[in-house]
Structure 1
Amino acid sequence: MVSKSRKAIELLYRDKCTIVEYKPIKDPVSKRTNNKEVIVLENQPCKLSYKNITSTEEGKVAKLTQTIKLFISPNINIKAGSKLIINNKEYVKSGEPAIYPNHQEVILELFEDKA
């Protein structure tokens, strides 16, 4: 049963997340097994949060870094190496999630194709 506080938090979710994992798939013709992208979850409600942090060192130009945080149901398992597609942008999970009773917080990085 979903708690009232969890329902209240999930009312703030305005984004949709698609989770893609790389799984070994055997080609029926060549009999070779290659990792292919497989969608494991689609249109999961979520919320993205952005935080900009400025740091300076004496005598140097200020450096701006951005932290991207995903808020999503605590029941969702996002495996390491998964690609997340949110608002037509691709991200990867950059660390272990902070899991709370009503939500989880996952730090993301923009996905850069390794090809």
Structure 2
Amino acid sequence: MVNRIRTSVERLYRDKCTIIECQPVKDPITKRTNNKEIVVLENQPCKLSYKNIMSTEQGKVAKLTQTIKLFISPNTEIKVGSKLIINGKKYIRSGEPAIYPNHQEIILELLKDKA
């Protein structure tokens, strides 16, 4: 039953996710270990969800906040600090995942490009 439900949920996934982790890599020449960004998973089916929240304070301009939530297989491990590329945009995992039998939900932040 769970597999049937999970299959139904995963049919809703229209996006593809690439997961990048910072991992220690030893240089064979210098023998020094440095952290490098390594692609650990590519083209993982997923779904992005956006929620806009308008907040106001008395006497101030209304502020719009957007929450970005990733829906992905519960078997996919996304470590803290991992970068994700979804639909050409870069994100970073900002919250602990809510893991359910059929999927997991992770709050993301849009990664700001350094100018």
Give the structure-2-normalised TM-score: 0.94
Report the equivalent of 2:26.
26
* Structure 1 unaligned blocks of 5 or more: none
Distance (whole Å) between structure 1 residues aligned to residue 82 and residue 111 of structure 2: 10
Distance (whole Å) between structure 1 residues aligned to residue 113 and residue 64 of structure 2: 23
Distance (whole Å) between structure 1 residues aligned to residue 114 and residue 27 of structure 2: 22
Contact 2:18 2:86 in 1 (8 A): yes
Report the equivalent of 1:85.
85
RMSD over equivalenced CA pairs, Å: 1.6
Paired residues for 1:50-89 under 5 Å: 50-89=50-89
* Structure 2 unaligned blocks of 5 or more: none
Q: What is the count of residue pairs matched by the alignment?
A: 115
- Identity rate of aligned residues, in percent? 77
Give the structure-1-normalised TM-score: 0.94
User: Shift of residue 70 of structure 1?
Assistant: 0.2
Task: Say if 2:94 is the partner of 1:94.
Answer: yes
Distance (whole Å) between structure 2 residues aligned to residue 4 and residue 23 of structure 1: 36
Report the equivalent of 1:35.
35
Letter in 2 for 1:23: Q
